Amino acid sequence: MPIAQALSRRHALGWAGAAALGTAWPLAGAQTRLRATPAQTEGPYYPVREPKDADFDLLKNGSLAYAAGHPAWVEGVVTDLDGRPLKGASIEIWQCDETGHYDHPGDGGRVNPAFQGFGRLRLDAQGAFRFRTIQPAPYTGRTPHIHAKIKLGPRELLTTQLYVAGDPGNARDGIYSRLHPLDQAAVSAPFVRVADGLRARYGLVVAA
């Protein structure tokens, strides 16, 4: 199933869940608008300089290949509040390696040098993105997560975090647990087994 089609179906299921909880989204005329993806803290490890390698494949850093962790495709679609693909925007992700270290001087330079740790893509015409990385790993005080930032030209439209649905650490995480249940669902996805590792799909909605 194409990414855009799969995520549209997920939005529809989200609407059904919202109705069951007695929650309604704002209306624009007769059209129901989507619920915006919640903004979350950028955290202390956003790159301080432009990485030399910042493409879609975080498992390769220059000539080095990263072999630790669980390889995964992290993909999805970014739309506006009316469900229109966010054409021309870019998405960045960054995360720790399997041992819980970031490629950032504030983390003591302990990241595995083969792990790229940061990637950037331009969304396609359907608003879709796809990164090759690892299923996020936990570290002290935090449940597994991937940071994400969406930009349109010089404007930062959203900074948030993406989680593993059902991870036992979620309920203990101070950032995740403060989210409304609908917002928790919006930034969580299961990592399911596919032919070449794992795959997680996210539907992100921004006010553009």
- Domain locations along the chain: 3-205
Q: Count Cβ atoms within 10 A of the Cβ of residue 130 and give its class: 0-12 exposed, 13-18 middle, 19 or more buried.
A: middle
Q: Does 12 have pLDDT greater than 60?
A: no
| Contact present, 136 and 68 (Cβ < 8 Å) | no
List pLDDT tens digits, range 45-61.
Answer: 999 988 889 999 999 99
| Contact present, 149 and 156 (Cβ < 8 Å) | yes
At the top level of CATH, the class of 3-205 is mainly beta
Percentage of the chain modeled with pLDDT above 90: 81
Percentage of the chain modeled with pLDDT above 70: 85
Half-sphere exposure for 96 (CA within 13 Å, toward CB):
22
List pLDDT tens digits, range 15-26.
Answer: 344 433 333 334
Q: What is the pLDDT of residue 15?
A: 39
- Whole-model pTM: value is 0.86
List pLDDT tens digits, range 32-46.
Answer: 899 999 999 999 999
Identify the H or E element spanning 26. Answer: none
Mean pLDDT to the nearest integer, 107-129: 96
> pLDDT category, 188, cuts 50, 70, 90?
very high
Where b means 16+ CB within 10 Å and e means fewer, 142-173 reads: bbbbbbbbbebeeeebbbbbbbbeebeebeeb
